[in-house]
Chains A and B, each alone.
Chain A
């Protein structure tokens, strides 16, 4: 069953200074099935982040349609959208930049619960209990609750970001380069945790990354985006072993991760 349907989406930014147009997305269509991990690969400026902003309805497409669970995002009122947003969450690349340094881990993770009173955590005591649970879910300890972000390593901070994203029991997570800022050994821990959470909580992922090795490991299907267009899409094994487009071939031959895998192959 499909959770997210993106149909011929186009996004144009107009620069007022020079009346120049920047076409960030040019006729993008994608379907994301419930329960899958969909990989999105593209270089800087390809339109990946614009796409995730449109999915979260932080911006509206210039044309085209994005439907989440069968409902057109552009047709939703503000209140409906606020409720829907609780079901979709995002984890960003840089855990140093995405946590307010002046808030404790408790407050950071409890914030979504406070913003969405309908989730049933109006009471501060109940929120604290929930924060404790969430920290356990992401492999942190309850006593970490009263510390500040600077007291944690990059991997632990990313765990806090994930706990915060999971606070409202979402069904869909956009993971925007979630491990790109982390060391290899920490990346492995976070990737495994994300996969385990996906199975346990029945989550759907949109996994954005430039690391083809990571995408091949986590994603079921993958789309390559280049200059605002989807240039190739398909099951991850197929795209990587038999790429059809020139861009996919270029990307695969340039990838250090795949070069390393080739070197290690028996």
Chain B
């Protein structure tokens, strides 16, 4: 059984101008021990997909019209808020782009992490290594030990002393490590990492990505890595899903999707990246712009910008089909010989 299985997820967002159909049938399967990239450009719905998994999209304005999100066999769309609260910060960990706004500047880093550890300990006392009848002081001491251990795991040197520091005393890369450590306290099975390295320098980014990969190997986590950077996907993800205007258009092993893309959008995205041997001026931009999600195209959402679009494309929404083992494409013309 897959760790995470999203099927046909449809999400509408109410706005002053009407209902925007922001997720249009998302399909995604994530296995344990894998890093699955979710890529797409601004506004394609990748972050909303991530937030939907931990049910953090406030409803209203959100309205889920259809679909299921199965986490370890259980449909999270049916889960109560209390059940979700027990999962968040425990079996589902999250890290976000900006490590600065996700730490409270007024509290010591250790204190903030101990809170998380105590919360996780309430749900599962095994996390603190204590029995259910441990005293408050025992729980706190155990939480403190756990925090130091986790900070050490993510490569923060002299962790026992750094717990007394405030967030501003850490660099950007170190703060992101703190947030990763915090997310790992609850021993998550699933880590949702939303642009975790976007605010960081290239060399620090490489360290953080390596850290995530090591943790995946050590704990057999499943990671959903949300990013706009195809390069980051190439570096660490074994699987990738490409999103466009609220739909997953292509999905498969990273190497296959990037080397032999079958959806015209994936092709266009890759062609828009500078590559070796390309003469100045030869880069191919993508003409047109993303459709309004208030009045999305009736058929394929990429059809208005697609050079291969035929009349049927404008009428019928393409369903994802497997063209090769594990490689699916949502394009009516995917089965035709490659144009």
Residues of chain A whose beta carbon lies under 8 Å from any beta carbon of chain B: 43-44, 153-154, 183-189, 191-192, 195-196, 210, 212-214, 216-218, 250-251, 253-265
A213 lies within 8 A of B281 (CB): no
B273 lies within 8 A of A213 (CB): yes
Interface string of B176-216 (1 = CB under 8 A from A): 00000000000000000000000001111110000000000
A259 lies within 8 A of B203 (CB): no
A185 lies within 8 A of B269 (CB): yes
Given contacts A185-B41, A213-B231, contact A257 B273 (CB under 8 A): yes
In the complex, A124 Cα to B95 Cα: how many Å?
A: 52
Q: Which of B47-55, B103-111, B284-292, B314-322 contacts A (4 or more CB under 8 A)?
A: B284-292
A258: chain B residues within 8 A (beta carbon) = 231
A210 lies within 8 A of B283 (CB): no
B202 lies within 8 A of A43 (CB): yes
A43 lies within 8 A of B283 (CB): no
Interface string of B231-252 (1 = CB under 8 A from A): 1111100000000000000000
In the complex, A131 Cα to B287 Cα: how many Å?
A: 24
| B42 close to chain A: CB less than 8 A | yes
Given contacts A43-B201, A254-B206, A256-B229, contact A264 B272 (CB under 8 A): no
B259 lies within 8 A of A185 (CB): no
A217 lies within 8 A of B278 (CB): yes
Shortest beta-carbon contacts, A-B, top 6: A256-B231, A217-B274, A185-B286, A254-B206, A189-B285, A188-B285
In the complex, A183 Cα to B232 Cα: how many Å?
A: 14
A261 lies within 8 A of B276 (CB): yes
- Determine which residue in A213, A250, A251, A256 has the highest number of CB atoms from chain B within 10 A of its CB, and name it: A256
Closest to B265 in A: A185
Q: List 5 A-B contacts (CB under 8 A).
A: A43-B201, A183-B41, A185-B269, A188-B272, A256-B229
Closest to B43 in A: A183
In the complex, A44 Cα to B285 Cα: how many Å?
A: 28
B226 CB to closest chain A CB (Å) equals 15
The interface size of chain B toward A, counting residues with CB under 8 Å, comes to 36
| B168 close to chain A: CB less than 8 A | no
B234 lies within 8 A of A188 (CB): no
A185: chain B residues within 8 A (beta carbon) = 41, 268-269, 272, 285-286
A216 lies within 8 A of B274 (CB): yes
A184 lies within 8 A of B231 (CB): no
Closest to B227 in A: A256
B272 lies within 8 A of A184 (CB): yes
In the complex, A186 Cα to B41 Cα: how many Å?
A: 10
Closest to A257 in B: B231
| B258 close to chain A: CB less than 8 A | yes
A260 lies within 8 A of B231 (CB): yes
In the complex, A264 Cα to B269 Cα: how many Å?
A: 13
Given contacts A185-B41, A213-B275, contact A256 B232 (CB under 8 A): yes
Given contacts A44-B201, A188-B284, A188-B286, contact A214 B274 (CB under 8 A): yes
| B74 close to chain A: CB less than 8 A | no
In the complex, A108 Cα to B270 Cα: how many Å?
A: 34
| Further contacts, 17 of them, CB under 8 A, given A214-B274, A261-B276 | A43-B202, A43-B203, A185-B272, A188-B286, A196-B281, A216-B276, A217-B280, A217-B283, A253-B206, A254-B203, A255-B202, A255-B231, A256-B231, A258-B231, A260-B234, A260-B235, A260-B258
Given contacts A260-B273, A264-B275, contact A251 B203 (CB under 8 A): yes
B228: chain A residues within 8 A (beta carbon) = 183-184
Contact among A153, A210, A260, A262 for B230, CB-based, below 8 A = A260
B234 lies within 8 A of A183 (CB): no
Closest to B207 in A: A254
Contact among B42, B259, B286 for A264, CB-based, below 8 A = B259
Closest to B289 in A: A153
Interface string of B272-308 (1 = CB under 8 A from A): 1111101011011110010000000000000000000
A227 CB to closest chain B CB (Å) equals 13
- Determine which residue in B41, B202, B270 has the highest number of CB atoms from chain A within 10 A of its CB, and name it: B202
In the complex, A102 Cα to B276 Cα: how many Å?
A: 42
B203 lies within 8 A of A188 (CB): no
Contact among A251, A262, A263, A264 for B202, CB-based, below 8 A = A251
| B255 close to chain A: CB less than 8 A | yes
Given contacts A183-B228, A192-B285, contact A264 B270 (CB under 8 A): yes
In the complex, A210 Cα to B229 Cα: how many Å?
A: 13
A251: chain B residues within 8 A (beta carbon) = 202-203
Closest to B280 in A: A195
Closest to B269 in A: A184
In the complex, A214 Cα to B255 Cα: how many Å?
A: 22
B204: chain A residues within 8 A (beta carbon) = 43
Closest to A182 in B: B42
In the complex, A77 Cα to B329 Cα: how many Å?
A: 64
In the complex, A256 Cα to B233 Cα: how many Å?
A: 8
In the complex, A187 Cα to B233 Cα: how many Å?
A: 18
Given contacts A185-B285, A260-B258, contact A218 B280 (CB under 8 A): yes
